[in-house]
Amino acid sequence: MTLSGWSRWALRGFMGLGLVFIYVPLMLVLVNSFNGDRTFGWPPHDFTTRWWSAAWNNSGARDALLTSVKAGLGATAIALVLGTMVSFAVQRFKFFGRDTLSLLIILPIALPGIVTGIALDSAWRSVVEPLGIGKGLFSVIVGHATFCVVIVYNNVLARLRRTGTNLEDASADLGASPGQTFRYVTFPLIRSALLAGGLLAFALSFDEIIVTTFTAGPGITTLPIWIFNNLFRPNQAPVVNVVAAILIVLSVIPVWFAQRLAGPEAGASRT
Amino acid sequence: MSASAEGPGRRAGSFLHRHPRLRLAGLLSAPVLWLGVAYLGALAVLLISAFWSVNSFTGQLTKVFTVQNFRTLLTEEVYRNVTLRSLGVAAAVTVICAVLAVPMAFFMAKVAAPRYRRWLVIAILTPLWASYLVKAYAWRVLLANGGPVDWLLGGPGRGPGYGLFAVVLVLSYLWLPYMILPIYAGLERLPDSMLEASADLGARAGRTFRTIVLPILVPSIFAGSIFTFSLSLGDYITVQIVGGKSQLIGNLVYANIGAANNLPFAAALATVPVVIMVIYLVAVRRSGALEEL
Amino acid sequence: MRRHRVVRVAPVAAAVLLLAAACGGSDSTSSGSGSGGAAAPPSLAAASSVGTGEGQLNIIAWAGYAEDGTNDKSVDWVTPFEQQTGCQVNVKIGNTSDEMVTLMKTGQYDGVSASGDATLRLIYSGDVAPVNTGLVPNYASVAPFLKDRPWNSVNGKMYGIPHGWGANVLSWRTDKVSPAPDSWGVVFDQNSPYKGKITAYDSPIYIADAALYLMKTKPDLGIKNPYALDDTQFKAATDLLTTQNKMIGEYWSDYTKEVQAFKAGNSVLGTTWQIITNLAQADKAPVEAILPTEGATGWSDTWMISSKAKHPNCGYLWMNHIISPKANAAVAEWFGEAPSNKLACQQTSDKNFCTTFHAEDEAYFSNVWYWTTPIAQCLDGRKDVTCKDYSAWTQAWTTIKG
């Protein structure tokens, strides 16, 4: 399909406009983190770096960041194990109810977050709390894991579909035990899918607010909850901006890393 | 290879290899237990509570079966209006995202030089890490009275301000990457050689697009639409931030479970987006969208 | 085939067990029943002594009631408390009374600053315990007209410590609204020039504001108490609010969002709390607030202690601290309300503060219509009709917002 030069330029321009649309609000956040006016009056009059030093000393933000990281790691760990198991089962076996299962598995991501949130909230309160386990970081991890599993499942499933079983069969033919086959053949094949899926799952858990609101115990403040609590408060809103600006700038790293992992495979399917 | 030379691990592995159904059971048990208990069980508890009611004065749950919640839902006009409004917003957001995403994804997958491709993907993915709340709040600042959008359009009040239009705009902005990615992934899997072959066989760009590109595009668009549709249908935070006085279904659920402390009614309200999404999922499954997620 | 059927059955069985547990488990210890509140609240014992602090305290408070210096470094009465008692305070801001009731029901908080439309609901559902006022030394100097009132005591038992009281005021942008308003009519005016920039409080209790306006402007409706509305009166109030909805730009429940809206000019007119106006003025926004001629709804807040409090000692210590003259004066000045402690009037930095806020004026106090939970038994004493209860108010509020 050869596109005329005109249409190539049109696409290029559209892409440029699209990127502008995507990045203008983010640039605004960066600019406002230096805005001297607490209420972000526009256009900004004076510039200051005091919000950056305030953010540095803000223990609330630091604690929230730590909580978010813990929750994300916990949810991603669960997701990696369960998601991989299910994707192997669905991809490598034929069984009664497979189609239904593959539909049910993606429900946590297909149903709105608020439904997951209130379902987990009411189930926790009526069933788990009477058993003595109060809401806390664990309930947040459980809530996040429900949709993180789906992300890992999707990624590993796609990889399994592409790689097939030939290599594993060959390994068995050559005398490797199933354990050895998994360690030396299967795992390296899915490793980058696991990493990409895990990273995306962590990102979703890190930014999740709706399910977290309903599943967090009273003392648990993840970063999104901290942001939500401080977003409108006059003295804190600029600090929130700084935190957001840091997140934007730092997030390029994991994204670039994930792309490098997916890179070689993406090229392989080109021809 | 004598049996006594095998370690227990190898014996277990061989045993499992000869009994595929046991392997399957082992693989499925933990995830299915998780799915059944943690998720489906919770949904079932929620659905059951939709048939209960709440004592309005003390706020205690009255666990007596009643269909009053659903009756209110179906007879009161406001709930119909809010549902239709939410559906409209979700549909509008999906269409806008699709319209914006297809050219961008096509450019990224087919037109851009390969060395820029990765950076373009990074550029699209990075905003996903910027907090959802901060992005919505950035739009609140952009759309504020006398803010940048007003300033661009000529003065305070010229811009759209807060309301349903702002909600659709901000939601489209937020979910755009979720629509671009599946389309990009789908287009990327389409080998360039196929497009060249089609041109070699004499098809013009339009024909190639219709017979080769579109069949790849449609399931990907549906896959992306699952995200945009469901995320928009249940959203209440963006509505609170830029929606002015509008309320969508998510707000009603949130208000009923929070302020009104009426869990049964909130659960009844929540069944509406669930039913809509299940119908949508079943409908798009046929197009193969679920493989493109 | 059989093996994975077994596997498939297990989670289903687990889910069924979950359901059985959810259905079977009884939910309450309370015997309080009926929506009229006619039955007695569950009998709970008040504490008999206050020991040493447990090291932590989780409370639900109105915005501005428990300041710890993060909003303004000089506004802090929480840190001195933490230093004196060792109780680390975690504050959850409740935006509306309904939110506070819901949060208290989770049993995870030790105390709450409840307004009159939350107190009785909490008392009758057994979520709060009676308070032994003998254990709170500063209670002795609380204004007498705040003690043993219908909203904070039942059957002679006090369920809380009065915190302060105030009215919902009308605020406007002086540079955008002229002439300066003096009546609630400006927010109910169908032909208002400020259409799209008016704001109102996002809670069903706001219906009382409309009822109050009708009470003064349409006397033939016969409204005697804005929380006691029969069908006709209720319909008139909700119709007024439905008309008002067309002119509303935003409803607010988060006070900081309203501060920001007034500063940016997204809202130029509407109901507010004094603290919101004070904060906006502190940031150089041209805002003013008055109590209109028709009077106003308001709140009389009480600190209550949870029946499931995990840190009751810290709870009692906090209640004593917050109504101590210095802290009570600080809160009252920061928020813009009348303090409950008579001695606080000598501690305010503005010497005329108590006079401005009528802190010791019992007559003025009786003219504000404090938030109360509407119930089916009409609060104005009428026996021939039933009034709309709070669930009707809640349903109507959703319909009003459209």
How far does the CA of residue A10 sit from the closest CA of chain B (Å)?
Answer: 9
pLDDT at A2: 62
User: Based on the domain organization, do B166 and B258 belong to the same domain?
Assistant: yes
* pLDDT (mean) for C352-368: 82
pLDDT band (50, 70, 90) for residue C33: very low
Q: What is the mean pLDDT of chain A?
A: 83
Window 219-248 of B: residues touching C by CB (8 A cutoff) are 244-245, 247
Give the three-state DSSP class for C341.
Answer: strand
Q: Are A66 and A221 in contact (CB under 8 A)?
A: no
Of the candidates B152, B159, B216, the residue with the CA atom closest to the CA atom of residue B186: B216
Q: What domains appear along chain A, each with residue ranges and CATH number?
A: 66-230 (1.10.3720.10)
The architecture CATH gives domain C169-295+374-401: 3-Layer(aba) Sandwich (3.40)
Q: How many CB pairs under 8 A join B and C?
A: 141
Mutation for testing the B interface, residue in C1, C2, C4 having most B CBs under 10 Å: C4
Burial C166-197 (b: 16+ CB within 10 A, else e): bbbbbbbbeebbeeebebbebbbbeebebebb
pLDDT at A235: 67
Of A193 and A268, which is predicted with more confidence? A193
In this predicted structure, the answer to whether residue A231 has a pLDDT above a threshold of 80 is no
For residue C373, list chain B residues with Cβ-Cβ distance below 8 A. Answer: 57
- Which of C32, C266, C398 lies nearest to residue B78, judging by beta carbons? C398
| pLDDT tens-digit map of C236-257 | 999 999 999 999 999 998 887 8
Please tell me the distance from the alpha carbon of residue C244 to that of residue A98, in angstroms, as a whole number: 55
Answer whether A219 touches C (CB < 8 Å): yes
Which bin fits C301, alpha (ψ -120 to 50), beta or left (φ > 0)? Answer: beta
Contact A111 B254 (CB under 8 A): no
| pLDDT tens-digit map of C137-163 | 999 999 998 898 888 888 888 999 999
Of A36 and B187, which is predicted with more confidence? B187
pLDDT at A265: 44
pLDDT at A83: 93
In this predicted structure, the answer to whether residue A233 has a pLDDT above a threshold of 90 is no
| pLDDT tens-digit map of A101-136 | 888 888 998 999 999 999 998 888 888 878 888 788
Minimum mean pLDDT range among B165-179, C37-51, C220-234, C334-348:
C37-51
In this predicted structure, the answer to whether residue B136 has a pLDDT above a threshold of 80 is yes
Q: What is the DSSP string of B129-150?
A: TS-HHHHHHHHHHHHSTTSHHH
User: Based on the domain organization, do B216 and B182 belong to the same domain?
Assistant: yes
In this predicted structure, the answer to whether residue A85 has a pLDDT above a threshold of 50 is yes
pLDDT at C15: 52
Give the three-state DSSP class for A112.
Answer: coil
pLDDT at C152: 87
Instruction: Give the CA distances from residue C342 to residues C113, C144, C329, C338, C347, in Å, rounded to whole numbers and listed in that order.
Output: 19, 9, 10, 10, 10
Please tell me the distance from the alpha carbon of residue C52 to that of residue C331, in angstroms, as a whole number: 25
Please tell me the distance from the alpha carbon of residue C110 to that of residue C346, in angstroms, as a whole number: 30
* Domain assignment of residue B34, yes or no: yes
* pLDDT (mean) for B157-171: 90
Of B274 and A240, which is predicted with more confidence? B274
User: Based on the domain organization, do B31 and B170 belong to the same domain?
Assistant: no
Minimum mean pLDDT range among B249-253, C27-31, C284-288:
C27-31
Answer whether C254 touches A (CB < 8 Å): yes
Give φ, ψ of C18 to 5 degrees.
-55, -45
* pLDDT (mean) for C108-132: 91
* Domain assignment of residue B212, yes or no: yes
Say how far residue A220 (Cα) sits from the centre of its chain. Answer: 19
In this predicted structure, the answer to whether residue C27 has a pLDDT above a threshold of 50 is no
Say how far residue A27 (Cα) sits from the centre of its chain. Answer: 22
Structural domain boundaries, residue B156? 72-291
Window 24-83 of A: residues touching C by CB (8 A cutoff) are 38-39, 41, 60
User: Based on the domain organization, do B13 and B122 belong to the same domain?
Assistant: no
Answer whether C250 touches B (CB < 8 Å): yes
pLDDT at B252: 92
For residue C6, list chain B residues with Cβ-Cβ distance below 8 A. Answer: 25
pLDDT band (50, 70, 90) for residue B180: very high
Please tell me the distance from the alpha carbon of residue A203 to that of residue A195, in angstroms, as a whole number: 12
| pLDDT tens-digit map of B198-247 | 888 888 877 887 888 888 888 889 989 998 999 999 899 999 989 988 99
For residue B72, list chain C residues with Cβ-Cβ distance below 8 A. Answer: 395
Tally the C-alpha atoms within 13 A of residue C144's C-alpha that lie toward its C-beta: 1
pLDDT at C24: 42
CATH class of C56-166+298-370: alpha beta
pLDDT at C26: 36
How far does the CA of residue A44 sit from the closest CA of chain C (Å)?
Answer: 14
User: Based on the domain organization, do B97 and B133 belong to the same domain?
Assistant: yes
pLDDT at B210: 82
User: Based on the domain organization, do B82 and B129 belong to the same domain?
Assistant: yes
Of C328 and A136, which is predicted with more confidence? C328
> C126: which strand partners?
none
> Any idea which residue has 């960041």 for tokens?
A65
pLDDT band (50, 70, 90) for residue C23: very low
pLDDT band (50, 70, 90) for residue C2: very low
Number of other CB atoms surrounding residue B210 within 10 Å: 11
In this predicted structure, the answer to whether residue C28 has a pLDDT above a threshold of 60 is no
* pLDDT (mean) for A164-176: 83
* Domain assignment of residue B252, yes or no: yes
Which bin fits B59, alpha (ψ -120 to 50), beta or left (φ > 0)? Answer: left
Helix axes A237-250, A5-32, angle to 10 degrees: 140
* Domain assignment of residue B62, yes or no: no
User: Based on the domain organization, do B18 and B142 belong to the same domain?
Assistant: no
In this predicted structure, the answer to whether residue C30 has a pLDDT above a threshold of 50 is no
Window 61-100 of B: residues touching A by CB (8 A cutoff) are 100
In this predicted structure, the answer to whether residue B6 has a pLDDT above a threshold of 80 is no
pLDDT at C305: 95
pLDDT at B15: 77
| pLDDT tens-digit map of B37-83 | 889 999 999 999 999 988 877 777 888 899 999 999 999 999 999 99
User: Based on the domain organization, do B122 and B38 belong to the same domain?
Assistant: no
In this predicted structure, the answer to whether residue C274 has a pLDDT above a threshold of 50 is yes
* Domain assignment of residue B172, yes or no: yes
How far does the CA of residue C399 sit from the closest CA of chain A (Å)?
Answer: 21
pLDDT at C223: 92
In this predicted structure, the answer to whether residue B110 has a pLDDT above a threshold of 80 is yes
What CATH number is given to the structural domain containing B279?
A: 1.10.3720.10
Q: What is the mean pLDDT of chain B?
A: 86
* pLDDT (mean) for B12-19: 76
* Domain assignment of residue B60, yes or no: no
**Beta pairing, strands C198-201 & C297-306:** unpaired
| pLDDT tens-digit map of A8-29 | 888 899 999 999 999 999 888 8
User: Based on the domain organization, do B180 and B235 belong to the same domain?
Assistant: yes
pTM of the model: 0.85
Contact C250 B255 (CB under 8 A): no
The number of folded domains in chain B is: 2
pLDDT band (50, 70, 90) for residue C8: very low
Minimum mean pLDDT range among A234-243, B107-116, B121-130:
A234-243
Sign (positive or negative) of CA dihedral C332, C338, C341, C344: positive
* Domain assignment of residue B96, yes or no: yes
Please tell me the distance from the alpha carbon of residue B110 to that of residue B123, in angstroms, as a whole number: 17
pLDDT at A38: 62
How far does the CA of residue B137 sit from the closest CA of chain A (Å)?
Answer: 8
Q: Are C293 and C185 in contact (CB under 8 A)?
A: no
Question: Range(s) for CATH 3.40.190.10 in chain C?
Answer: 56-166+298-370, 169-295+374-401
> Any idea which residue has 């369960």 for tokens?
A82
* Domain assignment of residue B129, yes or no: yes
Contact C4 A217 (CB under 8 A): no
**Beta pairing, strands C161-167 & C338-339:** antiparallel
